[in-house]
């Protein structure tokens, strides 16, 4: 590189003087010569040992859980079998025994014949939001006792509530049965819902009834409670 300089001898004469520029020095850091960055230090503290009082509290909570489950279950049973309000009925002994609950496992028919069995089964199905079948079955049983003058209006209400497509409590029956019932409702008799009722009973017998027998509420009534257990 050169720089232009004006001399004292002649202002008109110019000369170029080479100007040396120091070359930049490139420093290559090797793996061993890289300066270490200051390390970030985090305090490492060991977890505090569990206090004796905390351990006792945890054990008490664990012991309390099964009791709470049993208490909740008994509340459910009391809601199923409410105490009688009238003094006359209150004086009568009213209780569900373990022996009676054991009979429910023999068949769905035995379960539905029992006042307590029917109430327990309905409560179980309501808890699963699948009570449309038992409600329809009971409605059909009541329908068979309706006077002939009210058959037509009652049959139409049942059809609208349980049979028609998209009904509020639509039951699961095949298309052929649905159409048959629809035709029967036009000229109703006490047997116009028989086909649908048989299908619904079969569904409960194969599905809902076995699940009920496996449920905690039935297992408690039939095995864990003492005879003469749940007062009504």
How much is the average pLDDT of 164-189?
96
pLDDT score of 96: 87
Q: Compare 11 and 161 and report the one with higher pLDDT.
A: 161
Instruction: Report whether pLDDT(107) > 90.
Output: yes
Residue 69: name the closest of 198, 195, 220 by CA: 220
CA 197 – CA 121 distance, rounded (Å)? 17
Percentages (nearest 5) of helix, strand, coil residues in the chain = 55, 5, 40
Say what the pLDDT of residue 211 is: 96
Residue 99: HSE in the Cβ half-sphere, 13 Å Cα cutoff: 3
Task: Give CA–CA dist 161/168, Å, rounded.
Answer: 6
Q: What is the pLDDT of residues 137-160, one digit of tens each?
A: 999 999 999 999 999 999 999 999
- pLDDT classification of 108: cutoffs 50, 70, 90: very high
Q: How confident is the model at residue 42 (pLDDT cuts 50, 70, 90)?
A: very low
Residue 77 · residue 124 · CB < 8 Å: no
Fold for the domain defined by 96-231? Regulator of G-protein Signalling 4; domain 2 (1.10.167)
- The overall average pLDDT reported for the chain is 75
Q: Any idea which of 38-42, 46-50, 104-108 has the lowest mean pLDDT?
A: 38-42
Query: Would the CA dihedral through 166, 167, 168, 174 be positive or negative?
Result: negative
Chain position carrying tokens 């909570």: 61
Render pLDDT for 60-102 as a digit per residue (tens, 0 to 9): 555 554 444 444 555 666 566 655 444 444 433 358 899 999 9
Q: In angstroms, rounded to a whole number, what is the distance separating the alpha carbons of residues 109 and 117?
A: 10
Q: What is the pTM of this model?
A: 0.61
pLDDT band at 223 (very low <50, low <70, confident <90, very high): confident
pLDDT of residue 231: 46
- pLDDT of residue 200 exceeding 80: yes
């Amino acid at each position: 590189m050169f720089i232009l300089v004006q001399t004292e001898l002649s202002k008109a004469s110019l000369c170029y003087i080479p100007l040396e520029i120091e070359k930049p020095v490139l420093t290559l850091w090797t793996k061993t010569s890289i300066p270490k960055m200051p390390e970030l230090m985090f305090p490492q503290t060991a977890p505090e040992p569990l206090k004796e009082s905390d351990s006792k509290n945890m054990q008490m909570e664990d012991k309390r859980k099964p009791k709470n489950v049993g208490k909740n279950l008994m509340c459910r049973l009391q809601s199923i079998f409410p105490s009688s309000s009238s003094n006359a009925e209150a004086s009568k002994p009213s209780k569900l025994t373990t022996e009676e609950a054991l009979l429910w496992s023999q068949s769905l028919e035995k379960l539905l014949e029992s006042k307590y069995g029917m109430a327990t089964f309905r409560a179980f199905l309501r808890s699963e939001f699948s009570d449309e079948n038992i409600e329809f079955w009971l409605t059909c049983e009541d329908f068979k006792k309706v006077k002939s003058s009210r058959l037509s209006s009652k049959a139409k209400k049942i059809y609208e509530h349980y049979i028609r497509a998209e009904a509020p409590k639509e039951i699961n029956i095949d298309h052929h049965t649905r159409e048959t019932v629809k035709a029967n409702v036009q000229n109703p008799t006490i047997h116009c819902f028989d086909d649908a009722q048989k299908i619904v009973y079969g569904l409960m017998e194969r599905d809902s009834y076995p699940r009920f027998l496996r449920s905690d509420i039935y297992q408690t009534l039939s095995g864990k409670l003492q005879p003469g257990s749940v007062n009504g």
